[in-house]
Amino acid sequence: MDYNFLGRTGLKVSKLAFGTLTISPLQKNLTITESLPVMLEAFNRGVNFFDTAEGYDNYEHLKNFLTYVTREDVIISTKTYAYSREQAEKSLQKALIEMDTSYVDIFMLHEQMNEQTIKGHYEAIKYFIEMKEKGIIKAIGISTHFVAAVQAVNDFPAIDLIHPIINKEGIGICDGGIEAMEKAIHSLKPSKGVFAMKALAGGNLLNNIDEAFDYILQVKGLDSIAVGMQNVNEVIFNVNKFENKENHDTIIKALDFQNRKLYIGEWCIGCGNCVKMCQQEAIQVINGQAVVNHNKCTCCGYCSKSCYEFCIKII
């Protein structure tokens, strides 16, 4: 497994990061017991970077995992929607207590849109700066689906790294396409760390997984790439791809992509774009929310391209 320093942070992270949203109650909803062998398999194969968020509600999974490894051998990043000092302090204490750790390697502001939203959350950033000086936080960052937020980061010296969405189809990028996001990433100062998210577009690129990985692995400027993994076979497949090793047919068949289902997040606003896009007539808006008929859905993923809220995933 290749490792890179995450910008100026001094944190040396594996090229492949474990995105824990997939195992959380929001998606696959693995139990603490079920998730442990998946995370340990990744760790034992060289993955030392694990990404979570307050909203994923899976700190207990990380707490359990950390009892089986040496804390200093693992890099953990988390995220918060906090915009005030009080909220930031509450989020940090929640992370420390629920993961039973004395520090968090990376704390990020979740889903920032542009310079204005970063400024609107700056009271939280100032608190994180204080905690960084005390060693309770190692680095400060933001996550985003917006090109504008990536462009804005250079103007904020306190922000050490950025966690942007990028994939070969540009699915989930809210204010531009692939070229604009790549250009914004390339324009970042060398001091800024970058670890990408949604390389498989929330599962929507699983049917073209080789091409999706081939694309993301050639994007310049990415220190690490977070990928959701829900079972041991996925871990093996992904590590092999990142290490440029052959994946044998037994592993590919074990991934069992055919049994995945379309999932629509609860934050759906019921705009109806996915209904218009679906050629199978498998989606309809009911009581202001998009609802999928799994008997009709073929998991083609085309509907996800029309969802500006990035609600649609395949798990």
List per-residue pLDDT tens for the chain, 315 residues long: 999 999 999 999 999 999 999 999 888 899 999 999 999 999 999 999 999 999 999 999 999 999 999 999 999 999 999 999 999 999 999 999 999 999 999 999 999 999 999 999 999 999 999 999 999 999 999 999 999 999 999 999 999 999 999 999 999 898 989 999 999 999 999 999 999 999 999 888 888 899 999 999 999 999 999 999 999 999 999 999 999 998 877 777 767 665 778 889 888 999 999 999 897 899 999 999 999 998 888 777 778 878 888 888 888
Shared domain check, 249 and 108: yes
Asked whether the CA dihedral 8, 13, 19, 20 is positive or negative, the reply is: negative
CATH number at residue 310: 3.30.70.20
Boundary residue ending a domain (257, 275, 291): 257
CATH number at residue 151: 3.20.20.100
Shared domain check, 273 and 169: no
Vertex 27, ends 284 and 277: CA angle to 5°?
A: 30
How many structural domains comprise the chain? 2
Shared domain check, 243 and 274: no
Which structural domain, as residue segments, surrounds residue 156? 3-257
Shared domain check, 60 and 92: yes
Q: Residues 6 or more apart from 54 whose CB is under 8 A from it?
A: 78, 79, 80, 81, 91, 94, 95, 110
Closest CA to 261 of 224, 311, 225, 313: 313
Shared domain check, 134 and 57: yes
- Rounded-to-10 torsion of CA 262, 267, 270, 274: -30
Shared domain check, 185 and 278: no
Distances (CA, A) of 116 to 81, 121, 122, 140, 174: 15, 9, 10, 18, 16
Shared domain check, 271 and 207: no
Shared domain check, 124 and 105: yes
Q: Phi, psi (5° rounding) for residue 313?
A: -135, 165
For position 303, what pLDDT does the model report? 87
Shared domain check, 304 and 196: no
Shared domain check, 200 and 286: no
Shared domain check, 179 and 309: no
Shared domain check, 171 and 111: yes
**Cβ atoms within 10 Å, residue 127:** 21
Distance CA 300, CA 285 (A): 19
